[in-house]
Chains A and B, each alone.
Chain A
Amino acid sequence: MSIAESILAGDTRSLARLLTQVENGLPEGRRSLDELFPHTGRAHLIGVTGGTGTGKSSLVDRLALHYRRPPSGEPRRVAVVAVDPSSPFTGGAVLGDRVRMGDLAGDPGVFIRSMASRGSLGGLAQATAAVVQVFDAAGFDPILIETVGAGQAEVEIARLAHTTLVVEAPGLGDEVQAIKAGILEIADLLVVNKADLPGADKTTRALKGMLGLAHPAGRKASPAWIPPVLRTVALDGTGVDELAESIDRHAAHLRASGEWERRERLRLEAELETRLTAALSERLRARVGEGHYREALERMARREVSPAEAVESLLEREDAASI
């Protein structure tokens, strides 16, 4: 049985191992991804982003619990992908999101995987999309993706997730933080967590005001969706059922408006672009030879040719080589 087949059959150990291979960019991981790809595209991908200390991990814990013990309906198998930053100096990382997710321990219907960002900016790791695909193929739905808690650069998550939650908390920064970040524009739902703390009303009002001022209509070609502002207390679970309902409503909205498919298509296109670019550039370098590539770079450094001219000369050389 191949590792992909074991995963489809529900083997946890194979799943965990493939996630490592994928994270490390190993060729055998890629082959398994190829095998699993037809089984992807089913899960609802929910992104959770927001500043440090807003309570993202605790909220993810509560949401996952909700999906495991829903007030109505069947429990769902939940995957959690939690990304924390790598040290830019040593490449090491302390991944601490599991500390807040103790409630999920011992439940075989929940799989939590911690990832280090490994130098990638934008709040996710380079391999996060591939890791999510593996969970998708393995039948987890929903998949909760928690970004690095930097607060201002997590736009990547909006590209990956169907539904993006932006989590704020009272007293962590004024409304100016919210305008400058661009983080409001990626929010499908805004969550004021720690809503039992003083200042929660002010934060809620500020966020609503912000949305009123600059609701980014047409941002995702889904002008009919106005991001709601929800209040939660992740510590005791207050507001989590309502949050989950809102998430479901958003998924229904995406499907009904055709936006689900449109976003899926955009994501696939971006992935095709990236892979094609990488493959073509690799092929070109192999054909013209490393020497000519280096030479083009040297000539650029001496300011004899511009970057665009350097590319042209490499392409011409490749044409000549293929005749």
Chain B
Amino acid sequence: MTERKIRVLVAKPGLDGHDRGAKVVARALRDAGMEVIYTGLRQTPEMIAEAALQEDVDVIGLSILSGAHMTLVPHILDLLRANGLEHVRVFLGGIIPDQDVPRLKELGVTGVYGPGAPTEAIVSDIRAALADRA
């Protein structure tokens, strides 16, 4: 039963109370054969980093609609590095203005998706990003 499942943490940091998008993505990843750890609303960056560590995920999908992404995302990336999780790929979805995307990618975010992004693209981007993992 040797198999290597892709494990993804789907989390909503911050205070916005709307997780429909996160749930749609969670389902799409499940249907693509991935194991999705869904943590629900109002996660602090510390909670997300801790869950990523304990669950040993390959990918974190963050959904942020509140506009606080330029604060939350760098904080989460710092915590991941502090936990020795720099190999974990971070994907971001939600309401993210175009002008923030280059900076986010520079910080280490692998992919950014807005409303209406096809879930197939997210699935194939995750697979591509992990193609070279050990």
Contacts and interface: CB of A to CB of B under 8 A. Distances in A.
Interface in B68-115: 83-85
B30 A16 contact: no
Interface string B11-36: 00000000000000011011111111
Contacts of A152: none
Nearest to A105: B47
Given A13-B83, A116-B5, A93 B30 contact: yes
Q: Which 4 A-B pairs have the closest CB atoms?
A: A92-B30, A99-B40, A16-B56, A105-B47
Given A87-B30, A99-B40, A102-B40, A25 B2 contact: yes
Contacts of A20: 7, 56
A112 interface: yes
A90 B30 contact: yes
Contact of A16 (B3, B39, B53): B53
Contacts of A87: 30-31
Contact of A13 (B3, B40, B84): B84
Contact of A12 (B36, B39, B54): B54
Main secondary structure, interface of A, reads: mixed
Given A94-B30, A105-B46, A105-B47, A12 B37 contact: no
A98 B4 contact: no
Interface residues of A, number: 30
A19 interface: yes
Nearest to A119: B1
Contact of A26 (B2, B32, B34, B54): B2
Contacts of B31: 87, 90, 92
A102 B11 CA distance: 12
Contacts of A99: 38-40
A112 B55 CA distance: 8
B55 A24 contact: no
B125 interface: no
Given A24-B3, A25-B1, A87-B30, A95 B37 contact: yes
Contacts of A102: 40, 47
